[in-house]
A and B are shown apart, each in its own frame.
Chain A
């Protein structure tokens, strides 16, 4: 069921178009992420949904009713800010109780609900502390509790994990997923961190220069990016210049610089002579010594140019014939795997046809 519909929303700041004619449907109960580089318009879009900024044109529909003229305090949405925005002059309990107080709940109800919420987020012993007496992670939990206590239809989250260190961020990601599942509240999450988006979301919208490039489930976006921008923004990918020389219902035959003819799965709207790139993810490339046998469709010989050991995996930089350079990833599944290959080793790289795809320039 659709909760929120965004229809042709545009927002300009002077000559700069921050959000450019965006359309979007958010389903009830969904964990939806707006992902993009800084300045792509994701925060501006979030602020318009919250009601802090008004769009220059377009509509935002909640349950089918336009809410453009509804002030932020009348929208059943709450926001978790990157800076947490806790009220510095109020205790943890008063911060969490604020939305209940504003909606005119009785003191008795406020006290009971605040107490049970504090218990849920394991902050009961901090009820009388002030925000400046809390750690970053604790402030974060207070901000989430405050955002959820009055059961909003929609929780808007603006890079809420941005200020936390990496270990804490991983823990909070897990807590967020649980929190969302338990509360049953629809989340719209804004971030520039692609791994966070992939780990948390049901669906992701990739934004660039005020427009949406692609909307889909995380694995769909990762494996089937619609264009170079999305492919490049999400994860790492090898891109080799290619021209389409033949099309069929199931395959595209490409002429790839340095590799010759390669076939990739077909996709709609591609014609002969279209120019673009053949793209393959580093972890979908296999590597063996040149003396070994390998069954994959596409095999090319090359030499190890360099490698980067990062613990769980090692990235190898490989020079193929005609000075084509690609990256491949090997998991270090045994302690001795830190260096499976040495610089200069002759190797074969290969991939299955389904791993490669053609992306238009």
Chain B
């Protein structure tokens, strides 16, 4: 028994070390007073200062924020509606169609979106095409979360609302919406984090012109992994981590059926 437990502990520590040591190294070296990612020299904020003076990088960050905010808002709206519809109509094909983009290889999605934009819509690639592309793959995530929340609920609650005098619209905004709000927030945060660091689909749909954060980072390390890349990575990590923590808090509530 005892040796089993020790073995389990060691295994867990190894798994977590494997997952997190590379991330920790990035964070540590973003504060290293040396141009080389080799040995610890001393503590400095210089790379963050350099970052905030890097015009191209700031522009990329701004673009990525705009894309992530727009795509996650659109995906939340459409994904919530999809989740409600899938739950209401209980058509298997609906749920498969909404959830497939989640499982689809990104490269495939990227190529097909590129062809769609260029050959079907005949549009110029840029911010708009990236926003549409990101919305596409985020909808499924929102729909899954919203539907999971609805599935855990007593169907008679909605009938009770109608029965007690609420019109379908009143039922929606007094009962349904407050009850699925945690799932909607979780879905929105999830979409945002997926969108802001997406590389593959962004790469296919960005065209030339506007710099986008993940692509910009990739371009920088083609030359060398500078501490400046470490710094922007650390900031991105911080943002993502915060959002994930908030999302899981909401999602835990969503899964336990308590909204307060």
Distance, CA A52 to CA B132, complexed state (A):
40
**Chain A contacts for B260, CB-based, 8 A:** 89, 130
B161 within 8 A of A: yes
Q: Give Cα distance in the complex from A146 to B162, angstroms.
A: 13
A218 within 8 A of B: no
A102 & B257 in contact (Cβ 8 Å cutoff): no
**In the bound complex, what is the Cα–Cα distance between A97 and B111 (angstroms)?**
55
Q: Shortest CB–CB separation between residue B27 and chain A, in angstroms?
A: 40
- Bound complex: CA A52 to CA B162 (Å): 9
Task: Check: B239 CB closer than 8 A to any chain A CB.
Answer: no
**Cβ of B162 and Cβ of A85 under 8 Å apart?**
no
Q: How far is the CA of A358 from the CA of B162 in the complex (A)?
A: 48
The answer to whether the Cβ of B259 comes within 8 Å of any Cβ in the partner chain is: yes
Which one of B46-54, B84-92, B135-143, B164-172 is at the A interface? B164-172
Q: Tell whether, in the assembled complex, residue B162 and residue A71 are in contact, meaning their CB atoms are under 8 Å apart.
A: yes
Is B160 on the interface with A (CB-CB < 8 A)?
yes
Do A88 and B165 form a contact, CB below 8 Å, given A102-B170, A130-B260, A132-B258?
no
In angstroms, Cα B148 to Cα A214, docked, is 45
Give per-residue flags for A123-149: 1 if the beta carbon is below 8 A from chain B beta carbons, else 0.
000000010100000000000001100
CB interface residues, B 158-188, toward A, < 8 Å: 159-167, 170, 174-175, 178-179
Is there an interface contact between A83 and B164, defined as CB atoms closer than 8 Å? no
Q: Is A77 an interface residue (CB 8 A)?
A: yes
Place the interface of chain B in its size category. Answer: 20 to 34
> Is B123 among interface residues, defined by CB-CB distance under 8 A?
no
Contacts of A132 in B (CB 8 A): 258
Q: Which residues of A sit under 8 angstroms from B159, Cβ to Cβ?
A: 50, 52, 72, 79, 81, 85
Which residues does chain B contribute within 8 Å of A322, judged by CB atoms? none
Q: How large is the interface on A (under 10, 10 to 19, 20 to 34, 35 or more residues)?
A: 20 to 34
Task: Specify which chain A residues have a CB less than 8 angstroms from the CB of B175 in the assembled complex.
Answer: 87, 89
- In the complex, which of the residues A82, A89, A102, A130 contacts B179, with contact meaning CB atoms closer than 8 Å? A89
Cα–Cα, bound, A46→B256 (Å): 31
Q: Quick one: which of B164, B166, B259 contacts A89, CB cutoff 8 A? A: B259
Contact of B257 with A146 in the complex, beta carbons under 8 Å? no
Interface string of B139-154 (1 = CB under 8 A from A): 0000000000000001
* A52: B residues at CB distance < 8 A: 159, 162-163
Q: In this assembly, does B24 line the interface, its C-beta being within 8 Å of a C-beta of chain A? A: no
Contacts of B157 in A (CB 8 A): 85-88
A99 in the interface, Cβ–Cβ < 8 Å? yes
Provide the A273-316 mask, 1 if CB < 8 A to any CB of B, else 0. Answer: 00000000000000000000000000000000000000000000
30 contacts between A and B (CB under 8 A): A50-B159, A51-B163, A52-B159, A52-B162, A71-B162, A71-B167, A72-B159, A73-B165, A77-B163, A78-B163, A79-B159, A81-B156, A83-B156, A85-B154, A85-B156, A87-B157, A88-B157, A88-B257, A89-B179, A89-B259, A98-B165, A98-B174, A99-B165, A102-B164, A102-B165, A102-B170, A130-B260, A132-B258, A146-B164, A147-B164
